[in-house]
């Protein structure tokens, strides 16, 4: 089903328009722009950047320079847990000097090409979408495709450029986004519907590049305060000889088993800790017996009732956070006096709400979520381990 989205101009809207920005060194974010994009992401509003880059046609820089600038912007956005769902740019100009790019283009704003491409890739209904930019060409694009324009008065418009008096004008992107969110009634805590992949790839190399960027964005959404809480929970549990249990289904079961290895053998190596770590996902005989006699939803709860003691810790790994056996295990853990750590993705489900420490990865791709969970499992193990190694030996220790 088509949905509303936001098409953003780049120069003068997200970054300063200092004239043909074709290198990373010249990128300067406008105040509040990163936070504004993060707000759209958090509200589940797709974000596409549609930008004219005539500097390619005019010979100021090349296509790879534009892509490098966009990769740099992506990296900076990821540090704030933000992202652009789709980058589109037009390198053509009829007055260009570079062969192959010196021509008119349907994609060059106010032409509609990039807007239609964004609508197809992100499943947007342009009639209920917005175009936000600082130039008359941005307003023209909105008019061409029936979208709603918002003009940013950045001062970058050329002298004499007319601004349609019927268009809402705001001082910056943050104000524009506030208008968008108030109009949609979007909830900031909704799962962003970014989706990956958004189209079929013909190159494994390009897929790998974009997948790694998607993983970086997902990791950047993890709440570091919750990660700190989880690390402290594990470290204190190991210090007082409490047991740590882990469980998950499918790919998450392999992470639970891997946790037993790295938090058991790994954390113990070179430290004074004698960790007791047990994966509830590893014993197929016990699991199948419980599932056969009582139901699969009880496979972790039944084991906890036999093995756990007050003060122990349960770590659950669940991409959806909705698996009945995970939820039942967490409810059992709380009843038995255990602390709980949940690694979740998608919207987090009940597991996200039940956890004492919630490590939530904001992504709707199972592979990305599981990779991010594996990273979090590893970094928790290594953090705990280095906490118990003499400071002068940390740098010489292989982790």
Domain ranges of the chain: 6-220, 224-393
Q: What are the residue ranges in the chain where pLDDT is below 50?
A: 1, 156-160, 186-194
- Confidence (pLDDT) at 163: 60
Catalytic residue status for 164: no
Domains 6-220 and 224-393 share a fold: yes
- Confidence (pLDDT) at 201: 78
CATH number of this structure's domain 6-220: 3.40.50.1000
- Confidence (pLDDT) at 159: 42
- Confidence (pLDDT) at 190: 41
279 forms beta bridges with 246
Q: Which of 9, 17, 85, 371 is catalytic?
A: 9
Fold classified for 224-393: Rossmann fold (3.40.50)
Q: Which of 11, 107, 172, 371 is catalytic?
A: 11
- Confidence (pLDDT) at 164: 67
- Confidence (pLDDT) at 247: 98
Catalytic residue status for 272: no
- Confidence (pLDDT) at 191: 38
């Amino acid at each position: 089903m088509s949905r509303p989205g936001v098409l953003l101009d780049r120069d003068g809207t997200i970054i300063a328009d200092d004239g043909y920005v074709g290198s990373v060194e010249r990128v300067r974010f406008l105040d509040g722009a990163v936070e504004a994009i993060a707000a759209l992401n958090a509200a589940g509003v797709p974000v596409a950047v549609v930008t004219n880059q005539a500097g390619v046609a005019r010979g100021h820089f090349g296509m790879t320079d534009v892509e490098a600038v966009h990769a740099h912007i992506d990296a900076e956005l990821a540090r704030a847990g933000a992202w652009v769902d789709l980058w589109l740019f037009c390198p053509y100009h009829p007055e260009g000097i570079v062969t192959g790019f010196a021509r008119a283009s349907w994609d060059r704003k106010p032409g509609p090409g990039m807007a239609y491409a964004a609508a197809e890739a992100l499943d947007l209904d342009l009639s209920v979408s917005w175009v936000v930019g600082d130039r008359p060409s941005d307003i023209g694009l909105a008019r061409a495709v029936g979208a709603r324009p918002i003009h940013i008065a950045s001062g970058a418009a050329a002298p004499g450029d007319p601004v349609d008096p019927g268009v809402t004008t705001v001082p910056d992107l943050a104000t524009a986004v506030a208008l968008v969110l108030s109009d949609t009634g979007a909830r900031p805590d909704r799962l962003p519907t970014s989706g990956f992949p958004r189209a079929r790839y013909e190159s494994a190399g390009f897929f790998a590049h974009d997948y790694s960027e998607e993983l970086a964005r997902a990791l950047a959404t993890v709440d570091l305060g919750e990660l700190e809480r989880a690390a402290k929970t594990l470290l204190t549990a190991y210090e007082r000889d409490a047991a740590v249990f882990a469980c998950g289904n499918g790919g998450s079961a392999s992470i639970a088993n891997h946790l037993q290895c790295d938090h058991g053998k790994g954390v113990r190596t070179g430290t004074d800790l004698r960790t007791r770590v047990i994966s509830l996902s590893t014993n197929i005989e016990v699991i199948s017996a419980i599932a056969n006699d009582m139901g699969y939803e009880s496979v972790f709860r039944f084991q906890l009732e036999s093995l756990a003691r007050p003060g122990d810790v349960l770590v659950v790994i669940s991409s959806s956070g909705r698996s009945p056996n995970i939820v039942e295990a967490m409810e059992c853990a709380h009843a038995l006096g255990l602390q709980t750590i949940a690694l979740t993705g998608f919207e987090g489900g009940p597991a996200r709400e039940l956890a004492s420490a919630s490590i939530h990865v904001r992504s709707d791709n199972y592979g990305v979520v599981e990779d991010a969970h594996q990273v979090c499992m590893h970094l928790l193990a290594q953090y705990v381990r280095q906490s118990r190694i003499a400071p002068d030996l940390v740098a010489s220790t292989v982790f």
